[in-house]
Structure 1
Amino acid sequence: MNVLLLVAKAPVAGLAKTRLCPPASPAQAAHIAAAALLDTLAAVRATAATIPVLAHTGRFADAAYADELAAALGGWHLVAQRGATFADRLANAHADTAAAFPGRPVLQIGMDTPQVRPALLTTALDLLAEHGAVFGPALDGGWWALGLRDPASASALRDVPMSTDDTGRRTLAALREHGVRPAILPAQRDVDDWPGALAVAADLPGTRFAAAVESVDGHLVSGRPR
């Protein structure tokens, strides 16, 4: 079995998705983050023949939808994020997951792409079996997925500046310097700002995420007033 590693931050008001404010309030931004996380948790759990792992930071007891998140995380293997930088936390998450599940390939995603569905995750895992590594670029220049047959290769992330418009390019370059040449997955849009939230919500009618975005007064989803 493969490991599906989800890296996530507790959706606490004032600490989660603050770039959505304004127009969202801190509480609304936390609800949008929680909705994105819940939709992503469901997609991971619905992906066949995988072991779900959450590398987490923050207090989930203080999060929006805390009870629903606690229920959704039943049966997950939980790993606390550690490290001074986000790059270190990502590399350590791969290392800690590999220590818990030695010899298993690891596909890592985040909570910023609630549009990801089991079919896409299955495609990524199939490519990982063929190529040994996969990489999912994001439209903002970052990346949304990294799969490694040998999770030790994630050490290449430690010197990559994260959350910049060339993080994806620099991540690929660092991996290749370590001898890793990933297959490339379809690009996805991250929910990092309000236009991104609207665009992703418009493609996800009827989802928890779309409903959370639509709850912000005076804004449009699918080109229509709510």
Structure 2
Amino acid sequence: MSTSTSLTVAVIAKECVPGKVKTRLSPPLTPAGAAQLAQASLSRTLDTVRTLAAAHRLLVMDGTPASADADQFDVVDQSGGGLDERLAAICDAVPGPLLILGMDTPQFSQSHLAALLSDWDSGQPARDAWLGPAADGGFWALAMRRPDGNLIRGVPMSTDRTGAAQLDRLESAGLCVGHLPLLRDMDRFSDATAIAREIPGTAFAAAVVEAMAVTGALR
């Protein structure tokens, strides 16, 4: 069986509740506007994951997803603890191979994962793990053929060195790590507008334009 057809893709996400999600988008957005943009990002991410040749799709939620978002996903609750613990719990629950994605890079596409999928579908994979670095120093994707939560626990999250620290943890364990393309996370509204320019004509780009019209942002 090819690895791609045995792959589990897990999206770790947060319910898009005003005031509780993407708070750094406010200002210029209102909390409600930030939540709407977060929902647009999450929905597009899930739509892309549905196109991947994966055996299992997990939506690992803090909160309750919209019914449309849950379609074709097994919804599971996030564990407690910091982000490192929550990511580690996913690894401990899935035998592998596993790809974990966040909800903040709606511009990601199959092409960004092409090297990973080709390698793991080759019959003789060259890479034990793959890491997708984010422009803010974190990472937008983490994949392991043999998931091990201990390779994530204790890695400091939400810093400009998170991606480098995670890469060092993987390589220090003897894993051969492949590198996915650098992507920008949607942390601030300037990020959202830059991402929208990368994917014109999409529902996410339209949501950004609507947010700008409502708030007068960046005019």
TM-score by length of structure 1 reads 0.86
Q: CA deviation at 1:94?
A: 1.7
Q: Please point out which of 66, 91, 94 is paired with 2:91.
A: 94
Hey, what's the Cα distance between the residues in 1 that align with 2:210 and 2:133? 29
Partner of 1:173: 168
Partner of 1:143: 139
**TM superposition outliers: structure 1 runs of 4+ over 6 Å:** none
Q: Please point out which of 4, 23, 29 is paired with 2:9.
A: 4
Give percent identity, aligned residues only. 41
CA-based RMSD of the aligned residues comes to 1.6
Which 10-residue stretch deviates more, 51-60 or 12-21? 51-60
Partner of 2:217: 219
Hey, what's the Cα distance between the residues in 2 that align with 1:76 and 1:179? 32
Conservation of the 8 A alpha-carbon contact between 1:7 and 1:54 = yes
Hey, what's the Cα distance between the residues in 1 that align with 2:115 and 2:45? 16
Q: Please point out which of 55, 72, 76 is paired with 1:75.
A: 72
- 1:52 to 2:48 alignment: no
TM-score by length of structure 2 reads 0.88
Label 1:187 to 1:140 Cα distance change in 2 as closer, same or farther (>3 A): same
Structure 1 residue runs without a partner (length 5+): 61-68
- For residues 124-153 of structure 1, what are the alpha-carbon distances to aligned partners after superposition, in whole Å with 9 as ceiling and x for unaligned? 32234431210111111111111100012x
- 1:29 to 2:25 alignment: no
Hey, what's the Cα distance between the residues in 1 that align with 2:7 and 2:64? 28
Conservation of the 8 A alpha-carbon contact between 1:107 and 1:125 = no
Which 10-residue stretch deviates more, 125-134 or 167-176? 125-134
Count matched residues: 207
Which 10-residue stretch deviates more, 199-208 or 117-126? 117-126
Structure 2 residue runs without a partner (length 5+): 1-5
Q: Please point out which of 123, 126, 131 is paired with 2:127.
A: 131
